[in-house]
Amino acid sequence: MQLSEAVSSGPSNGAATDTQSRAERAAAENGRITRFREDTRNARIYISQQVEHRYGRKVSWGAPRAAAPASCSPTSRCR
């Protein structure tokens, strides 16, 4: 059995290169966020149902963007 080799043409951590435009970086970031939301939807729904049942409180999820500080998610107020 042979293993195939994966070849990457750019940074694997989502970091932008000098040749990428702002629009390309924003589109890539939006794609990663969309993919995360799709891939984790069922797990997030399950977790939120468990938390809402246990604590009687609503749960919301957010993915911070690179331009925003970590303490400033879409579901919180920036301080």
Dump pLDDT digits (tens) for 31-66.
Answer: 998 998 899 999 999 999 999 999 998 888 776 766
Question: What's the pLDDT band for 6 if we cut at 50, 70, 90?
Answer: very low
More confident residue, 44 or 18: 44
More confident residue, 50 or 16: 50
Q: Which amino acid is at 62?
A: G
User: pTM for the whole thing?
Assistant: 0.46
Domain layout of the chain by residue ranges? 20-58
Of the candidates 71, 52, 70, which has an alpha carbon nearest to the alpha carbon of residue 60? 52
Distance (Å, rounded) from C-alpha 22 to C-alpha 63? 19
